[in-house]
Amino acid sequence: MHKLKSLNNLDSLRKKLLAERKRARATIVICGGTGCQASKSPEVIAAIKKEITGQEMEKKVHVRATGCHGFCEQGPIMVIEPGNLFYCHVKAKDAKEIVAKTVKNGEVIERLLYTDPVSGKKVRTEAEIPFYRAQDRQLLNHNRSVDPCAIEDYIAIGGYAALAKTIAGIEPEAVISEIKASGLRGRGGAGFPTGRKWAECAEAPGDEKYVVCNADEGDPGAYMDRCLLEANPHLILEGMMIGAWAIGAFTGYIYVRNEYPLAVQHARIAVEQARKLGLLGENILGSSFSFDVEVARGGGAFVCGESTALMASLEGKVGEPRAKDIHTVKDGLWHKPTVLNNVETWANVPSIILNGAKWFAAKGTKNSKGTKIFALTGQVKNTGLVEVAMGTPLNKVIFDIGGGSKNGKAIKAVQTGGPSGGCLPVGKFALPVDFDTLNEAGAMMGSGGMVVMDEGTCMVDMAKYFLNFLQDESCGKCIPCRVGVDRMLEIITDIAEGRGSREQIALLEELADTVSATSLCALGKTAPNPVLSTLRYFPEEYAAHVDHKKCPAGVCKALISYSIQSDKCNGCGSCLRACPHDAIYGRKKKVHIIDEKKCLRCGICVGECKFAAITVS
């Protein structure tokens, strides 16, 4: 492909690509995202390609390996166009049948269709699946139509049109005011108005400015940014180019978490392809605008997702945050004005420029506009990536899209915003998801993790888990975060192990307040959120642990014991054989007994018993 030297070049390339695409009769779309790769989609892709070549159908059928479709639980996912037939859990051995039946003759293979867990019916297309139907996939819907390693795909669906429109005649100030008018807020967690950030950076003195894309996503259970960057890297690149145009930057960086190899690879390929086409580099599309992007791999720490730590890491220093009394828009990367935005924020930019601020602001609530992607995980039937308009009630996300509880236990709470977010109880599920309401309720939007918990989850144990994570991931620079979080963990461990007292709960609350008020960076400031929110909404669970030395959910090992019900046990011996600690005694056909002293409460026996004779108390 030749270098694009003008705006017209881009237009004619797009027309040429569209004409070519019309000729292909059918397209088999296979998800090659990380989730589906784990369920062996590369084998499926290879098998389908082999089958197509074997039957000499290369010219008629186009096979496209795309990024994540969102419904990772059902992977590998395959969509056959035209008709949008949706197959899930596809295996390599199905390839022959799919090509022979569906592609050639248009027959539907019932076995591969998705079964709606609520109605039990087979569903043929994505649009009919409740998981997709209730969503508003403004960003994620492109994933299906784009091969992340092919810039042609992105251009064919209208990619880089927003860049062309910008270069053709939108002044930087106008770009900023458009973004301001759209009400876009940073999707990384804090929700800072993006337009204001850009304006401040554009006004900051200095000729050398930078734009940075923060793709150092590390929340347990969250993978929105990973998915976007893996599936549609050009969308993010285009957003960064528009941002660079607006603030006057010549260099951009994509800081990707090193543990996301596919995202690193796809981002690098995308940058390379854009350079070849002349969309990055000197005089982009024949204009005076020059901009280039480098992909940097992360330093392997959760804290490197914090803006100043990320910049220190980019500079090659230890990834530790510094004081932010002077904002990074004035004193950022290499002490130059820098705009740092999250992957999802950048991804929203092109469509705002293309469709206008009004279009974007039409969705959402008063102060939170547009859509937000959540990673729905935990004890719900349908897990995966979910994109909804801001202001959608939690209920809709958890029950309509998520399909409700997975194993029949009642849903108790949802944890939003990752380790530094908070837990909201069922009573708060009517709340709309937007930045301000979630903050007021003691949780936060965060980057968009959403972990659903049922009656089998102990909130004290949950808070302990997140504190342990944060204590590990704290950089250790400032005292409140390093020592304070560690002390909080110490107290909560005492509570979980039955040594807790009422005074300790009061101390925990006071310490949590100190840590959140005085820590150096946002990691420390938000670290006590899991503790504070569970103390606020589930005080009775803490009370049970402290006063009665009981764990209501039966999770905290020091406070529970396993016993065998004599009326249900028939002496089959499967628990005895399964117990790794030799803690179960009993003769054949006689009631078995658990030795409390030897039992390490691993719970393996509960899973082994077919007669539900082992209970936790």
Q: Which positions lie near other proteins, rule CB under 8 A?
A: 301, 303, 318, 322-323, 325-326, 471-480, 482-484, 486-487, 490, 503, 507, 510-511, 513-514, 517-520
To other proteins, the closest distance from the beta carbon of 192 in angstroms equals: 15
d(CA 331, CA 342): 18
Amino acid identity, residue 614?
I
Q: Which two tokens stand for residue 520?
A: 């150096």
Residue 145 vs 514, nearer CB to other proteins? 514
Using CB atoms within 10 A of its CB, is residue 140 exposed (0-12), middle (13-18) or buried (19+)? buried
Contacts of residue 307, Cβ cutoff 8 Å, sequence gap at least 6: 214, 321, 324, 328, 332, 340
> Which of 331, 344 has the CB closer to other proteins?
331
How far apart (Å, rounded) are the C-alpha atoms in residues 300 and 294?
Answer: 18
CB count, 10 Å around CB of 456?
13
Contacts of 181 (CB under 8 A, 6+ apart): 195, 357, 358, 361
Comparison of 308 and 416: residue with beta carbon closer to other proteins: 308
Q: Kindly tell me which of 377 and 420 has the beta carbon lying closer to other proteins.
A: 420
The answer, yes or no, to whether the previous bond of 76 is cis (omega within 30 of 0) is: yes
**Cβ proximity to other proteins, 173 vs 490, nearer residue:** 490
User: In this complex, which beta carbon is closest to other proteins, that of residue 175 or of residue 505?
Assistant: 505
Nearer to other proteins, 317 or 358 (CB): 317
Phi, psi of 362 (to 5 degrees): -65, -30
Shortest distance, CB of residue 528 to other proteins, whole angstroms? 12
**Token pair 């990055």: residue:** 280
Burial class of residue 288 in the structure, from the number of CB atoms within 10 Å of its CB (0-12 exposed, 13-18 middle, 19+ buried): exposed
What are the phi and psi torsion angles at 559 (to 5°)?
-110, 5
| Cβ 515 to other proteins shortest distance, Å | 9
Q: How far is the CB of 472 from other proteins (least distance, A)?
A: 5
The size of the chain, in residues, is: 617
Residue pair 433/372 in contact by the 8 Å Cβ criterion: yes
Residue 471 main-chain phi, psi, to 5 deg: -65, -35
Tell the smallest beta-carbon distance from residue 323 to other proteins (Å): 3
Phi, psi angles (nearest 5°) of residue 400: -75, -50
Q: Give the Cα-Cα-Cα angle 408, 396, 401 (nearest 5 degrees).
A: 65
Smallest gap from residue 39 Cβ to other proteins (A): 33
CA-nearest of 340, 424, 348, 342 to 389 is: 348
Q: State how far the Cα of 136 lies from the Cα of 347, in Å rounded to an integer.
A: 15
Q: How far is the CB of 510 from other proteins (least distance, A)?
A: 7
Q: Which of residues 461 and 473 has its CB atom nearest to other proteins in the complex?
A: 473
CB of 221 to other proteins, least distance (A): 20
β-pairing, 593-594 vs 61-66, is unpaired
Cβ 187 to other proteins, closest distance in Å?
24
Contacts of range 82-89, beta carbons closer than 8 Å, 24 or more positions apart: 82/26, 82/27, 83/125, 84/125, 84/126, 84/127, 85/124, 85/125, 86/113, 86/114, 86/123, 86/124, 86/125, 86/126, 86/129, 87/112, 87/113, 88/112, 88/113, 88/114, 89/39
Nearer to other proteins, 89 or 330 (CB): 330
Assign 167 to helix, strand or coil: helix
Quick check: 613 and 565 in contact, CB under 8 A?
yes
What tokens appear for 453 in the block?
Answer: 């918990």
Distance in angstroms (rounded) separating the CA atoms of residues 285 and 279: 7
Nearer to other proteins, 56 or 503 (CB): 503
Beta-strand relationship, 61-66 and 78-81: unpaired
* Nearer of residues 131 and 435 to other proteins, judged by Cβ: 435
Question: What distance separates the 2 farthest-apart alpha carbons in the chain?
Answer: 87
Q: How far is the CB of 498 from other proteins (least distance, A)?
A: 17
**Smallest gap, in angstroms, from Cβ of residue 200 to other proteins?**
15
Partners of 380 in the β-ladder: 405
Q: Minimum distance between the CB of residue 223 and other proteins, rounded to whole angstroms?
A: 23
Q: How far is the CB of 469 from other proteins (least distance, A)?
A: 10
Coil/strand/helix, residue 526 = helix
- Both structure tokens of 17: 């690509």
At closest approach, how far in Å is the CB of 466 from other proteins?
A: 14
Nearer to other proteins, 487 or 536 (CB): 487
Of the pair 162, 511, the CB lying nearest other proteins is at 511
Closer to other proteins by CB, 506 or 600: give it. Answer: 506
Amino acid at 397: V
- By beta-carbon proximity to other proteins, the closer residue of 117 and 476 is 476
Q: CB of 519: closest distance to other proteins in angstroms? A: 7
